[in-house]
């Protein structure tokens, strides 16, 4: 899929088929994630691939907006060493790469909500010096989402505000 098409058609997918995501596709998502730009090229990220059904259910039980993990075959947990911005760029790379591989994803917010950070630390045994940033649910889509138009010409400023 063309990169512009992937950007314009990516939507949050919260219903998934039961099929596993192939290891080769998971690897491509991670390659995309690691290629993200980062301030000073610090690449401050680590990723946890969560496939264990018990862990996925536990996160869904305790995170108020992660119920899709009851169905998703995979979640990618993103850590932030120092730069929230770097990690966000890397997540967007994963979402777009997944779209290009016919996978559905949704970004599940963790940082800066201290309660959610605590829940993830507890369930995934994340050390105190590592800061959980976000979760991404990944699976084959079991819902169709149309293309939306969010283009707002009034939000575009030329030269000066």
Ligand X SMILES: Cc1cc2nc3c(=O)[nH]c(=O)nc-3n(C[C@H](O)[C@H](O)[C@H](O)COP(=O)(O)O)c2cc1C
Q: Which residues contact ligand X by CB under 6 A?
A: 11-12, 14, 65-66, 106-109, 145
- Rank residues 12 and 43 by Cβ distance to ligand X and give the closer one: 12
- Rank residues 44 and 141 by Cβ distance to ligand X and give the closer one: 141
Residue number with the shortest CB distance to ligand X?
Answer: 109
Radius of gyration (C-alpha) of the chain in whole angstroms: 16
- Rank residues 14 and 25 by Cβ distance to ligand X and give the closer one: 14
- Rank residues 21 and 106 by Cβ distance to ligand X and give the closer one: 106
| In the complex, least distance from residue 26 CB atom to ligand X, rounded to whole angstroms | 21
| In the complex, least distance from residue 109 CB atom to ligand X, rounded to whole angstroms | 3
Q: Which contacts (CB < 8 Å, 24+ apart) does range 29-32 have?
A: 29/76, 29/94, 29/97, 29/98, 29/101, 29/103, 29/138, 30/76, 30/94, 31/97, 32/93, 32/94, 32/96, 32/97
Q: Which residues contact 90 (CB under 8 A, 6 or more apart)?
A: 33, 34, 36, 38, 45, 78
List, in sequence order, every beta strand (DSSP E) within 4-140.
47-50, 74-80, 104-109, 131-139
- Rank residues 37 and 109 by Cβ distance to ligand X and give the closer one: 109
| In the complex, least distance from residue 159 CB atom to ligand X, rounded to whole angstroms | 29
- Tokens of residue 161, six digits: 């505000």
| In the complex, least distance from residue 63 CB atom to ligand X, rounded to whole angstroms | 7
| In the complex, least distance from residue 24 CB atom to ligand X, rounded to whole angstroms | 25
């Amino acid at each position: 899929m063309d990169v512009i098409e992937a950007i314009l058609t990516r939507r949050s997918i919260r219903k998934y088929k039961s099929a596993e995501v192939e290891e080769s596709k998971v690897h491509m998502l991670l390659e995309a994630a690691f290629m993200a730009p980062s301030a000073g090229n610090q690449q401050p990220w680590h990723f946890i691939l969560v496939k264990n059904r018990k862990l996925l259910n536990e996160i869904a039980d305790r995170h108020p907006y992660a119920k899709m993990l009851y169905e998703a075959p995979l979640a990618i947990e993103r850590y932030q060493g120092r730069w929230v911005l770097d990690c966000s760029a890397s997540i967007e790379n994963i979402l777009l790469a997944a779209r290009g591989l016919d996978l559905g994803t949704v970004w599940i917010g963790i940082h800066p909500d201290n309660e959610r950070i605590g829940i993830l630390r507890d369930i995934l045994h994340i050390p105190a010096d590592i800061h959980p940033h976000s979760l991404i649910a990944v699976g084959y889509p079991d819902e169709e989402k149309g293309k939306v138009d969010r283009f707002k010409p009034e939000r575009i400023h030329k030269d000066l505000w």
